[in-house]
Amino acid sequence: MAKLPKISERFTGAIQATDQAQRIAELQTEVERLRVTQSPELEEQIEELRKQLVAEEGELEIAVDSIDPNPYQPRQTITSQSIQTIARSMEKDGQIAPIIVITQSDRYLLWDGQRRWSAAKLLGWKTLRAVKALMPEDLHRKALLTFIHHEDLNYLDKAEAIIKELTTSTGMEASEIPTVLSTVLRRLERSGEANQLTVLVTATTETQVQGIKSLGVNENEKKILLALLDLALNPASVKANLMPMLSLPKDLKTAIREQGLKGAHALALTVLSAKTLKTSERQATKERIEATNRVIEQDLTVQKTRELVAQIKAKYVLPEISESKQVTTVVRGVEKLSSSVMVSTSPEQLTELRQVLQQKLLEIDEILNQ
């Protein structure tokens, strides 16, 4: 593994107030990315940076009820269970790390520490230790970059955060972005050029621009692809894994946010739709909610979830009836039994044939009369 960058060096020396928000945003982004690597050097560097940040800006006791949640927070799914876990830890050991807030007149916007703040409210705490930062110009993008590559951010939150950033950076409507992305990727797949996007994810900005230009895409397609690459995201992966989350029915989105349903399980459960089951929307929703609860309660794997969905689907969807080649062959064979052939056949064999045909006729009548 390559040696971790000495991120603490970026915070040495005097820091002007106008640079503070940018530095803190960079710090958050780098810390989140380093957490993903699970490097043994990480905690030591985080602790060093915390000390420097406190030394530079100072640490305050801020009233919990003077803090407002960040409306640009990409992590929309924070379960009550996770808050209760943090609350138990804080009640036992106190607040380990200060939250980060942004001053807004006489109130504060929460920048980092959503669960610690929620846990403090649950515990009835009056104040929290905090470090103040200045408001960045592009708050949503800074928040997105901080969380977008975090492993435990669920796919629904990720998809919604990405769409929000793409509407800002491209000027396009949120509703048209998935369609444009899907269209350009299908075209690139047909031409065998889709793999070039994977290479461009880790390329320089200049190389990305030149690479996208060489693919012959239109202006809107170019904007979307470059915006995703700028976020270090593979457009094909975003289309396959994240965009479908946006069209999930409301009950599945609620299950993800409030019950911890995983994205892959949610996509498997979407098969239980009114169109697929050939039933009413109300009945399909009922089946889907019951199946969702079962998946969560029994902690089913994705494969087991698909098997459950297939069982439910079988109750509504009759197997397709098609022409049988075997039956066609038998019919043609019987038609070829001319009188001359049967006259020259032994009585025993003809008797056997009659018995077989009579039995099959009874079976056919039974099926047709169902």
User: Rounded to whole angstroms, how far apart are CA atoms 206 and 208?
Assistant: 5
Q: In what order do the strands lie in the sheet with 67-68?
A: 60-63, 127-133, 99-104, 107-112, 67-68
Please give the torsion angle defined by the CA atoms of residues 312, 316, 320 and 326, in that order, rounded to the nearest 10 degrees: 70
Amino acid, single-letter form, for residue 279:
T
Q: Looking at residue 43, what is its pLDDT? A: 53
**Which one, of 255, 256, 288, 258, lies nearest residue 271 by Cα?**
288
Q: Looking at residue 16, what is its pLDDT? A: 43
Q: Looking at residue 53, what is its pLDDT? A: 53
Residue 124 gets the label, from left (phi > 0), alpha (psi -120 to 50) or beta, of left
User: Rounded to whole angstroms, how far apart are CA atoms 129 and 110?
Assistant: 12
Q: Mean pLDDT in runs of 10 for the chain (370 residues)?
A: 41 42 51 50 55 65 89 62 82 83 82 85 92 59 51 73 86 92 93 88 86 92 91 86 90 89 91 92 95 94 93 82 81 84 86 87 80
Which residues contact residue 258 at a Cβ distance below 8 angstroms, ignoring those fewer than 6 apart?
79
Number of H helices, E strands in the chain: 20, 5
**Which one, of 237, 262, 232, 229, lies nearest residue 248 by Cα?**
262
Token reading at 234: 């593979």
Q: Looking at residue 292, what is its pLDDT? A: 96
Q: Looking at residue 11, what is its pLDDT? A: 39
User: What fold, for 9-143?
Assistant: 3.90.1530
Q: Looking at residue 285, what is its pLDDT? A: 95
Domain borders along the chain are: 9-143, 154-245, 248-316
Q: How many residues does the chain have?
A: 370
| 0.75 exceeded by pTM | no
Residue 209 C-alpha from the chain's centroid: 27
Q: Looking at residue 2, what is its pLDDT? A: 37
| 3-state SS class at 162 | helix
**Which one, of 34, 59, 257, lies nearest residue 160 by Cα?**
257
**Which one, of 126, 51, 123, 53, lies nearest residue 89 by Cα?**
123
Q: Looking at residue 45, what is its pLDDT? A: 55
